[in-house]
Amino acid sequence: MAVVIRLTSTGRKGERKYRIIVKEKRSKRDGKAIEILGWYEKREKSTDKKIDMDRYNYWITKGARPTKSVANIIG
């Protein structure tokens, strides 16, 4: 089972918010997640984010691979 850490979108059109989730790679984009690690919100003037880094590092050690977008957010 290939596990990835990726974004899923929430919010209205023009006011997108994203959840950072762990899920199986072959499942649907907005399907059920294994775990929600945090959220990310990009605004015009700033970006807000909250990520549980302990759980993020746990999943990385278990073999989960972050997408490019998530890797850029984590920095």
What is the DSSP secondary structure assignment for residue 74, as one 8-state letter? H
Does this model's pTM top 0.95?
A: no
Q: What is the largest CA-CA distance in the chain?
A: 39
User: Which residues lie across from 21 on neighbouring strands?
Assistant: 6, 36
How do the domains of the chain map onto residue ranges? 3-68
pLDDT tens track for 49-67: 899 999 999 999 999 999 9
pLDDT tens track for 2-36: 999 999 988 888 888 999 999 999 888 778 899 99
Nearest residue to 24 via CA among 47, 1, 55, 7: 1
Split at pLDDT 50, 70, 90, the class of 68 is very high
Cα distances (angstroms) measured from residue 57 to each of 16, 30, 32: 26, 23, 21
> Is residue 22 within 8 Å of 3, Cβ to Cβ?
yes
CATH for 3-68, among 3.40.50.450, 1.10.260.40, 3.30.1490.190, 3.30.1320.10?
3.30.1320.10
